[in-house]
Amino acid sequence: MAVRVERPNGKKGQRAIVISDIHANLKAFIELLKKVDFSEQDILILLGDIVEKGESSLDMLHYVMELKKTHNVYAVCGNCDAIAMEVLKDTRNEDLLKYILLRKQTLVGEMCRAAGAKLNRDTDMGKVKKELRERYKEELSFICELPHIIEIGQYVFAHAAVYPGRMEEMKPSQAMKADDFMNQGYHFEKYHVVGHWPTSLYCKEIPDCNPRIDKENKIISIDGGNVLKRDGQLNALIIPDLFENEVTFTYVDQLRKAKVLNTQEAGEKSFCIPWTDSLVELLRTEKDFTYCEHISSGNKMWIPNSYLCEDRDGWHTEDISDYQIPLTYGDIVSVSEVTSRGYLVKKNGVIGWYYGMLEFLPEGEE
Ligand SMILES: [Mn+2]
């Protein structure tokens, strides 16, 4: 299958809102659309991975399909969305069954449950697929027809990657899946906007979930780690005019909000451990923390025990850093962790440790 490139007409001065990797988080998506005041005048571009991993894949998909009827909505296919296309094939039945049984929150799993199909290791997946094709014809063809790349005005959009000079020759899988795209040395004339790879993974010292904008090479990466990271966020890249190079952004997260009661300076040195290089050695445990040495860098830091997990090759940590975040009395922060050593908080997309006092805001207040 060749890559599908869609080139809708954009009007000069028309605003675009770009959101990636919603991962079935319908609540955050609705909240974010409200926050950016999304309207019929705008273009909404969904950068893929609309479904999978989060709570409500089927509701999420239906919401986007309905929104497309009344608004300018364009979406590209992400690697996670593409999983549903397996339902249309008569091959790899076992693989799909294994995938659904292993992962609790998947679109196809939700479809099976809604269709009353109870899955176990002996299920005849070929039969189930036939049922799903009937029942979810519209949904499946919606996903199947999604392009992999969208080009409008001064911008090119894809889930994970677009390679310079040979867009049309790319395989769909290349546009849908690529690790660490911003570090591959590419340079473009037009801005290329991608998701898929959480932007915090690009951070070495200070963890930052905001969109990452490389003005020189014209690459923007916008996945805030929503659903996948416990302190992640759903970003919206706001392009006030698709024919101009100016962009801004905002985000929502579903962490509890609190008011900071002490002023704290930024720490001097800090280090991020990403899940892509997460092997640590446990040195000593005190209460809810363990002092660890990061194997590949030799850096040492206290890591909450709840972040540590033992695998076949040793102990691993979830994304963590020892960054002490600068805060001022009265700042409103998102609180990710409450520990014996302090709070792990987020302000303006940046995550760090806060050792003062705070006051939680009542739910729904910001
Ligand atoms: Mn992805």
pLDDT in tens, 307-342: 999 999 999 999 999 999 999 999 999 999 999 999
User: Residue 356, Cβ neighbours under 10 Å: how many?
Assistant: 13
Does residue 165 sit in the same domain as residue 58?
yes
> Residue 359: in which H helix or E strand, if any?
strand 358-360
Q: What does the block give as tokens for 303? A: 């890591």
CA of 295 to the centre of ligand 1 (A): 27
CA distance 147 to 6: 6
Does residue 307 sit in the same domain as residue 159?
no
What's the structural domain count of the chain?
Answer: 2
Which amino acid would we find at residue 221? S
pLDDT of residue 88: 94
Tell me if 133 is assigned to some domain.
Answer: no
pLDDT of residue 366: 58
CA of 299 to the centre of ligand 1 (A): 30
CA-to-CA dists, residue 64 to 43, 44, 52, 73, 81, angstroms: 13, 10, 14, 8, 13
Does residue 177 sit in the same domain as residue 261?
no
pLDDT of residue 106: 96
CA of 111 to the centre of ligand 1 (A): 21
Does residue 156 sit in the same domain as residue 52?
yes
CA distance 310 to 348: 32
Ligand 1 is a single-atom ion; what residues have CB below 5 A from it?
A: 49, 78-79, 196
Domain boundary among 252, 282, 309: 252
Domain boundary among 252, 280, 301: 252
Of 206, 157, 156, 198, residue with least CA distance to 324: 206
Q: List the CATH number of the domain containing 68.
A: 3.60.21.10
Name the pTM for this structure: 0.96
pLDDT of residue 37: 98
Which amino acid would we find at residue 158? A
CB 296 within 8 A of CB 346: no
Does residue 161 sit in the same domain as residue 180?
yes
CA of 80 to the centre of ligand 1 (A): 6
Does residue 331 sit in the same domain as residue 263?
yes
Domain boundary among 194, 217, 252: 252
* Segments in the chain below pLDDT 70: 364-366
Which amino acid would we find at residue 309? C
CA of 48 to the centre of ligand 1 (A): 7
CA of 287 to the centre of ligand 1 (A): 36
Does residue 151 sit in the same domain as residue 268?
no
pLDDT of residue 166: 79
pLDDT of residue 345: 98
Cα 272 from chain centre: 18
Tell me if 176 is assigned to some domain.
Answer: yes
What domain range is 166 assigned to? 5-78+146-252
Tell me if 224 is assigned to some domain.
Answer: yes
